[in-house]
A and B are shown apart, each in its own frame.
Chain A
Amino acid sequence: MSLARRIIPCLDTDGARVVKGVRFADLRDAGDPVLLAARYDREGADEVVVLDIAATRDSRPTFVNTIRRAARELSIPLTAGGGIRDLSDARAVVEAGADKVTVNTAAVRDPGLLTTLADALGAQAVVLAIDARRAGAGWEVCVRGGREPCGLDAVAWAAEGARRQAGEILLTSIDRDGTQSGFDVDLVARVADAVPVPVIASGGARTPEDFLRVFETGHADAALAASIFHDDLLAIKQLKAFLASRGVPVRAA
């Protein structure tokens, strides 16, 4: 039996409040992450991702508290991330109630961190977040909020992450993020076909057809979006009804 394809709203926060990025810049406030997360739970989201995109020393305790409040309200899995540097950061959000934690820049700097986290928390709790942008014939990994290219090939890095026991890959196309021009289906397919773990596609979602394409052609296990859900451009219930009508296995909203 195949798992349901997951629809995942993502909440970018400054620790306490939701902000959202257009190509990772120009942030604006969009409310209380706990209220929004609970709303998405009711509307049929399969999981919620909450990120601390400020990821400063000051935002950290506030963010952990946000995760604690969100976990209490949610009846679906919660993934927390942004600025996770080490096991103690990861443990703090897991103990606050997150089911999974994403690591990005810190894993690029020290790939062994993935194994450390998996040994302590279980591979199922470790999500390797990769921000990738097109470079020549392939895709290059960028760190520090997608601002800084680091020379790694995205497909190779995803494969290495999985070998080092990341339980899941959250793959964001920097080129598409915030553009609402559709997922980078080629990127997603290349990574999904190269790793034995689930891949969450992110960046560029706008229409139900975008989601259909990233599941059917991109072989994504899950698809993540932010603005189109926050701005009510697309309702999860309608999206899932559309996907079900096209033969994609989804949990009814």
Chain B
Amino acid sequence: MSVVLVDYGAGNLPSVEGALRRLGVPSRRCSTPEPLADADAVILPGVGHFSPFAAALDRRGLRQPLLDAIAREVPFLGICLGLQALWEGSEEAPMARGLGVLPGRIAALPAGVKLPHMGWNRLRQLSGRTSRLLEGVAPDAYVYFAHSFAGSADGAVAVCDYGTTFTAVFERGALFGVQFHPEKSGAVGSVVLRNFLETAR
């Protein structure tokens, strides 16, 4: 299985690579469009600011190949900023363009709670929504978050409540995204990553 980790220059790739290796799955980094063409699964990790992230996707020519992979229904997992990239844009960087797979924009978490939202918080799996990523995960499991912006809860299979209610886990067909960091979420995170890889088998 060819698992491609998108390297846009500022992601925390070693952590994700380590998590995949502990699951016995090798991955390769890709900072050019070519490897995306024959990937069995694509992971788009992301940390930091939306603006350099979006700019790097364009500079490296990754935007269209990523959209093509999503259109071909190659299993795709966006992590943190990689999930946020699915929307049209973000309040964090009004001029930067997201991938625009989902309508609307990423918004800042409200003032009144400590920001960044950083640490272990509970998922709230929505009743009536089945989730492939969360199979075997407690519906209110603790996972690790580190972010100040988030996407609306529309279409989420699990949300998190912190100042507002936002998407913690998104799923639609082969398209997956998590606002938390599965590579930093201990045993629960490993299960989520394993479940994602299962969808690519």
Q: Hey, which bits of chain A sit against chain B, CB under 8 A? A: 1, 3-4, 6, 41, 46, 68, 71-77, 94, 96-97, 99, 121-125, 167-168, 196-198, 221-222, 251-252
Chain A proximity of B54: nearest CB distance (Å): 15
Q: Are B116 and A1 in contact (CB under 8 A)?
A: no
Give the CA-CA distance A196 to B15 in the complex, in Å.
Answer: 28
Out of B48, B115, B184, name the residue touching A76 (CB < 8 Å): B184
Out of A41, A68, A121, A124, name the residue touching B118 (CB < 8 Å): A124
In the complex, which residues of chain B have a beta carbon less than 8 angstroms from the beta carbon of A167?
116, 118
Q: Which of B48, B148, B186 has the most CB of A within 10 A?
A: B186
Cβ proximity bits B116-158 to A, threshold 8 Å, 1 near / 0 not: 1111111000000000000000000010101110000000000
Give the CA-CA distance A168 to B119 in the complex, in Å.
Answer: 11
B199 interface residue per 8 A CB criterion: no
Out of B48, B119, B121, B181, name the residue touching A122 (CB < 8 Å): B48
B172 interface residue per 8 A CB criterion: no
In the complex, which residues of chain B have a beta carbon less than 8 angstroms from the beta carbon of A197?
114
Chain B proximity of A90: nearest CB distance (Å): 13
Question: With contacts A3-B120, A77-B144 known, what are 6 further pairs, Cβ within 8 A?
Answer: A1-B121, A3-B121, A72-B17, A74-B18, A122-B116, A198-B114
Q: Are B120 and A1 in contact (CB under 8 A)?
A: no
Give the CA-CA distance A97 to B11 in the complex, in Å.
Answer: 10
In the complex, which residues of chain B have a beta carbon less than 8 angstroms from the beta carbon of A76?
144, 184-186
Closest residue of chain B to A44, judged by CB? B186
Chain B proximity of A165: nearest CB distance (Å): 10
Q: Are B116 and A123 in contact (CB under 8 A)?
A: yes
Interface residues of B toward A: which range? 35 or more
B189 interface residue per 8 A CB criterion: yes
Q: Hey, which bits of chain B sit against chain A, CB under 8 A? A: 12, 14-15, 17-19, 21-22, 47-49, 114-122, 142, 144, 146-148, 160-162, 181, 183-187, 189-190
Chain A proximity of B7: nearest CB distance (Å): 12
Chain A proximity of B113: nearest CB distance (Å): 9
Given A3-B119, A122-B49, A123-B116, check contact A97 B186 (CB 8 Å): no
In the complex, which residues of chain A have a beta carbon less than 8 angstroms from the beta carbon of B18?
71-74, 97
Give the CA-CA distance A94 to B146 in the complex, in Å.
Answer: 15
Give the CA-CA distance A122 to B15 in the complex, in Å.
Answer: 17
Give the CA-CA distance A251 to B146 in the complex, in Å.
Answer: 16
Give the CA-CA distance A251 to B120 in the complex, in Å.
Answer: 7
In the complex, which residues of chain A have a beta carbon less than 8 angstroms from the beta carbon of B21?
72
In the complex, which residues of chain A have a beta carbon less than 8 angstroms from the beta carbon of B148?
123-124
Q: Are A121 and B184 in contact (CB under 8 A)?
A: no
In the complex, which residues of chain A have a beta carbon less than 8 angstroms from the beta carbon of B48?
121-122
A-B contacts, 16 of them at CB < 8 A, read A1-B160, A1-B161, A71-B15, A72-B17, A74-B18, A76-B186, A94-B12, A96-B14, A99-B146, A99-B184, A122-B47, A123-B116, A168-B118, A196-B115, A221-B119, A251-B142
Out of B22, B115, B120, name the residue touching A6 (CB < 8 Å): B120
Chain A proximity of B198: nearest CB distance (Å): 18
In the complex, which residues of chain B have a beta carbon less than 8 angstroms from the beta carbon of A72?
14, 17-18, 21
